[in-house]
Amino acid sequence: MKKIRPKSIIMFHAKNKGKINKGEFKMVTATRPENKVKIGPTQLLINNKWVESASGKRFETINPSTGEVICDVAEADAADVDKAVIAARNAFNQGDWPKLSATQRGQLLYKLADLIEANIEELARLETLDNGKPYQDSLNADLQLVIACYRYYAGWADKIQGKTIPINGPYFCYTSHEPVGVVGQIIPWNFPLLMQAWKLAPALAAGNTVVMKTAEQTPLSALRLGELILEAGFPPGVVNLLSGYGPTAGQAIARHHDIDKVAFTGSTEVGHLIMEAAAQTNLKRVTLELGGKSPNIVFAYANLEQAIEGAHFGLFFNQGQCCCAGSRLFVEEKCYDEFVAKSVERAKQRIVGDPF
Active site residues: 289
Rounded CA-CA distance 341/347 in Å is: 10
Give me the amino acid identity at 278.
A
The answer to whether the beta carbons of residues 242 and 80 sit under 8 Å apart is yes
Rg, C-alpha atoms of the chain: 23
Question: 3-class SS at 71?
Answer: strand
Cα angle 292, 296, 301 (rounded to 5 degrees) comes to: 170
Element (H, E) at 110: helix 102-118
Give me the amino acid identity at 140.
N
The answer to whether the beta carbons of residues 74 and 43 sit under 8 Å apart is yes
Residues in the chain: 356
Rounded CA-CA distance 54/278 in Å is: 25
DSSP string computed for 135-164: HHHIIIIIHHHHHHHHHHHHHHGGG----B
Q: Residue 233: how many CB atoms within 10 A of its CB?
A: 12
Rounded CA-CA distance 135/113 in Å is: 20
- Contacts of 63 by beta carbon, 8 Å cutoff, 6+ apart: 33, 69, 70, 129, 130, 132
Q: Residue 146: how many CB atoms within 10 A of its CB?
A: 30
Question: 3-class SS at 304?
Answer: helix
